[in-house]
Amino acid sequence: MPWFANIINFLVSGQLPAHWNTKDKRKFLNEVKNFYWDDPYLFKYCPDQIFRRCISDNEVSSVIKFCHSEACGGHFSSRKTTAKILQSRFYWPTMFKDSHAFCKTCENCQKLGSISKHHMMPLNPILVIEIFDYWGYRFHGSISSIIWFLVHISRNKLCFKMDRGNSKLKQ
pTM, whole model, 2 decimals?
Answer: 0.61
Residue-level pLDDT at 132 = 59
Residues pairing with 149 in the sheet: 137, 161
Helices (H), the chain: 5-13, 22-31, 57-69, 78-87, 95-105, 107-112
Query: Which residue would you say has higher pLDDT here, 43 or 122?
Result: 43
Q: What is the pLDDT of residues 100-141, one digit of tens each?
A: 999 888 888 877 766 566 666 667 777 776 665 655 555 454
Q: Is the pLDDT of residue 156 over 80?
A: no
- What's the CA angle centered on 15, arms 13 and 20, to 5 degrees? 150
The answer to whether 35 touches 45, Cβ cutoff 8 Å, is: yes
In angstroms, the CA 140 to CA 110 distance is 69
In angstroms, the CA 102 to CA 100 distance is 5
Instruction: Give CA separation, 149 vs 65, 154, 166, 169, in Å.
Output: 66, 16, 13, 11
Radius of gyration of the chain (CA): 34
Residue-level pLDDT at 137 = 52
What is the torsional sign of CA 78, 84, 85, 86? Answer: positive
Residue-level pLDDT at 168 = 47
Please state the rounded mean pLDDT for residues 64-85.
85
Peptide bond into 40 cis (omega under 30): yes
Q: Is the pLDDT of residue 155 over 50?
A: no
Residue-level pLDDT at 135 = 58
